[in-house]
Amino acid sequence: MMLHIPEVLSAEQVRHIRAELARADWVDGRATVGDQGARVKRNRQLPEHSPLGFKLGEIILEALRKNPLFFAAALPKKTIPPLFNSYEGGEHYGLHVDGSVRKLPNAVGSIRTDVSSTLFLSDPEQYDGGELVVVDTYGTHEVKLPAGDLIVYPSTSLHRVEPVTLGARVCSFFWTQSMVRDDWKRSMLFELDRNIFGLREKIGDTEEVLGLTGHYHNLLRQWAEV
């Protein structure tokens, strides 16, 4: 399931993060991937253990904790501290799939990458190219969102970032281990959750809405790994 979540960050938060990143020391993005990714990756990133990256990442994590749509879609168990990258001057990232397991930066464990997220920090008119292209069983999807908006998609998906030919594309990206490992089950739970929400807005907490709510939680209880 791919999902566009608008306005995860406010315009003020985006300006603050971009101002902080403007004084950052970027490194070659190939330092943070394995052999397959390094062959097709050409961009710059903040170092994984950057104090600035941790500080800015906490702003994003706090926004995610307050976002009910992200919770409903990802059903997060653990989310890795957000990373930051920049593309310009023809930089790109060729077709690849994200690694299945990533170590946490504080060396206290690892997470399984179930859900990949890209949070855009540049508006579309600020750069040419740079579309995130996700390939799945339903086709090929191009994504280029306003600053502050988030796209989430299964980490099993092949994807790439097109060359940035003018301006700079700045984003944050991170992975989430879900309480529900299977994307199909997460998708069903998300659709059920959204329909319950819509019914509750229209008709309130009727007996039928409460019954569907109970069904949702019983399915989550059956499938969740906590």
Q: What is the CATH number of the domain that holds 217?
A: 4.10.860
Q: How many CB atoms lie within 10 A of CB 86?
A: 20
213, 106: one domain: no
192, 116: one domain: no
Residue 60 has pLDDT above 80, yes or no: yes
96, 162: one domain: yes
Direct distance between the N- and C-terminal alpha carbons of the chain, in angstroms, rounded to an integer:
22
Give me the percent of the chain exceeding a pLDDT of 90: 90
Query: pTM of the entire structure?
Result: 0.95
Strand partners, 127: 167
**pLDDT tens-place string over residues 29-54:** 887 666 666 789 999 999 989 999 99
200, 147: one domain: no
188, 168: one domain: no
CA dihedral for 190, 65, 147, 53, sign (positive or negative) = negative
114, 187: one domain: no
Cβ pair 121, 145 in contact under 8 A: no
CA distance 171 to 118: 7
User: How far is the CA of 16 from the CAs of 9, 19, 80, 98, in angstroms?
Assistant: 11, 5, 21, 29
146, 187: one domain: no
Cβ pair 160, 94 in contact under 8 A: yes
Tell me which amino acid residue 52 is: L
174, 209: one domain: no
125, 38: one domain: yes
Q: How many domains does the structure of the chain reveal?
A: 2
CA distance 182 to 63: 25
CA distance 116 to 90: 24
Strand partners, 87: 169
77, 98: one domain: yes
Please report the pLDDT score of residue 105 as a whole number. Answer: 83
Question: Hey, what are 172's tokens?
Answer: 């944050």
122, 197: one domain: no
User: ∠ CA 171-175-180 to the nearest 5 degrees?
Assistant: 145
CA distance 152 to 174: 10
If pLDDT is split at 50, 70 and 90, which confidence band does 108 have? confident
214, 157: one domain: no
For the range 16-24, what are the long-range contacts, defined as Cβ-Cβ under 8 Å and sequence gap of 24 or more? 16/59, 17/56, 17/59, 17/121, 17/172, 18/121, 18/122, 18/170, 20/52, 20/55, 20/56, 21/46, 21/52, 21/56, 21/84, 21/86, 21/121, 21/170, 24/50, 24/52, 24/84
E strands along the chain, which residues? 3-5, 27-28, 41-42, 44-45, 76-79, 83-88, 92-96, 101-103, 110-112, 115-120, 127-129, 132-136, 139-143, 150-154, 158-161, 164-178
Q: Residue 38: which CATH number?
A: 2.60.120.620
**pLDDT tens-place string over residues 184-211:** 999 999 999 999 999 999 999 999 999 9
Residue numbers of the domain that contains 104:
3-178
Please report the pLDDT score of residue 33 as a whole number. Answer: 66
If pLDDT is split at 50, 70 and 90, which confidence band does 137 have? confident
